[in-house]
Amino acid sequence: MTRKKAIVSWTGGKDCALALFIAGQSGFEITGLVTFIPAGSDFRAHPLIMIEKQAEALNLPWIKIVIEKPYQRFYEKSLDNIRQIYDIEYLITGDIDFIGGFFTNYMEDRCRAVGLNIFNPVWQKSREEIMELLFENKFEFIFSLSNANVLDAAWIGKNITREMFTELRKIARVNGMDLCGENGEFHSMVMNSPDFQKKLIVNSSGIISDDEFHYLVIEKISLQLKIN
């Protein structure tokens, strides 16, 4: 049976890492990662230095694409180029809900326009189910950003564990935050997953805060062999 060739839309966070894991279990052949980077952004929520190490830990090629206007046409052209160059049939995403005022899946629309299939394995799953899948499969992931109005700087860099998730539930009951941070309450970065051949170790880091957000700043990061 021929495996379906795919590339993963990758930010390094929990949702795309879970999508990659599910895709692997579903018979996809993963040929690489692609990160769409906003122009003029240092991508503080998802440090590029960490994504580079994740790609190395996954032993997968990593494509970086800086987004340009007009956005819709740019995404479609980029996806079409990727489809042809890497001979893929599918884009895999960790999208879990509608964003930015769109009432359709933005990446699905862009893929359809260029004849590329899409696989969204966590699309509109409950937040509880997504987090439980991560915990069950021993993903290790940390807070890389928090909205200062929702979570204070003390959360940054901390592992998101079942115990931590219990605390998030308590906060959500008070302020209505999304339990997966889908409305920008927080972002995450994956340090280890079943797909990683090595795990990420933050050797040195700091926190930057402004009026809106708290960010993790990576000063030094390395890879460590996993012990089974």
Summarised one tens digit per residue, pLDDT across range 16-54 is 999 999 999 999 999 999 999 988 777 899 999 999 999
Instruction: Let me know whether 41 and 133 are in one domain.
Output: no
Position 102 pLDDT exceeds 80:
no
pLDDT at 228: 67
- Strand pairing partners for 220? 204
Query: Per the domain annotation, does 124 fall within a domain?
Result: no
User: Domain boundary at 86, 119, 152, which?
Assistant: 119
User: Domain boundary at 119, 137, 171, which?
Assistant: 119
Instruction: Let me know whether 75 and 180 are in one domain.
Output: no
Instruction: Let me know whether 61 and 107 are in one domain.
Output: yes
Residue 47: asked if its preceding bond is cis (omega within 30°), the reply is: no
Q: How confident is the model at residue 77 (pLDDT cuts 50, 70, 90)?
A: very high
Query: Per the domain annotation, does 46 fall within a domain?
Result: yes
Position 159 pLDDT exceeds 80:
yes
The answer to whether 91 and 116 have CB atoms below 8 angstroms apart is yes
Q: Which residues contact 116 (CB under 8 A, 6 or more apart)?
A: 79, 80, 83, 88, 89, 90, 91
Q: What share of the chain in percent tops pLDDT 70?
A: 98
Average pLDDT score over residue span 101-113 = 90
Q: How confident is the model at residue 227 (pLDDT cuts 50, 70, 90)?
A: confident
Q: Is this prediction's pTM over 0.85? A: yes
Query: Per the domain annotation, does 75 fall within a domain?
Result: yes
Q: What is the CATH number of the domain that holds 150?
A: 3.90.1490.10
pLDDT at 43: 87
- Strand pairing partners for 115? none
Q: Which residues contact 78 (CB under 8 A, 6 or more apart)?
A: 36, 65
Q: Which residues of 106-118 are buried (b: 16+ CB within 10 A; e: fewer)?
A: bbbebbeebebeb
Position 101 pLDDT exceeds 90:
no
Query: Per the domain annotation, does 64 fall within a domain?
Result: yes
Number of domains in the chain: 2
Instruction: Let me know whether 89 and 145 are in one domain.
Output: no
Average pLDDT score over residue span 149-171 = 97
Instruction: Let me know whether 156 and 220 are in one domain.
Output: yes
Among candidate residues 191, 150, 176, 210, the one with its CA nearest the CA of residue 47: 191
d(CA 159, CA 120): 25
Instruction: Let me know whether 221 and 144 are in one domain.
Output: yes
Query: Residue written as tokens 């340009």?
Result: 68
pLDDT at 202: 97
C-beta neighbour count of 220 within 10 angstroms: 10
Q: What is the CATH number of the domain that holds 104?
A: 3.40.50.620
Q: How confident is the model at residue 57 (pLDDT cuts 50, 70, 90)?
A: very high
SS3 of 132-194: the string is: HHHHHCCCEEEEEEEECCCCCHHHCCCECCHHHHHHHHHHHHHHCCCCCCCCCCEEEEEEECC
pLDDT at 134: 98
Q: Which domain holds residue 83?
A: 4-119
Looking at every residue in the chain, the average pLDDT score rounds to 95
Instruction: Let me know whether 32 and 106 are in one domain.
Output: yes
pLDDT at 197: 97
Q: Which residues contact 132 (CB under 8 A, 6 or more apart)?
A: none
d(CA 67, CA 65): 6
Instruction: Let me know whether 8 and 115 are in one domain.
Output: yes
Query: Residue written as tokens 């931590």?
Result: 164
Q: Which residues contact 135 (CB under 8 A, 6 or more apart)?
A: 161, 162, 165
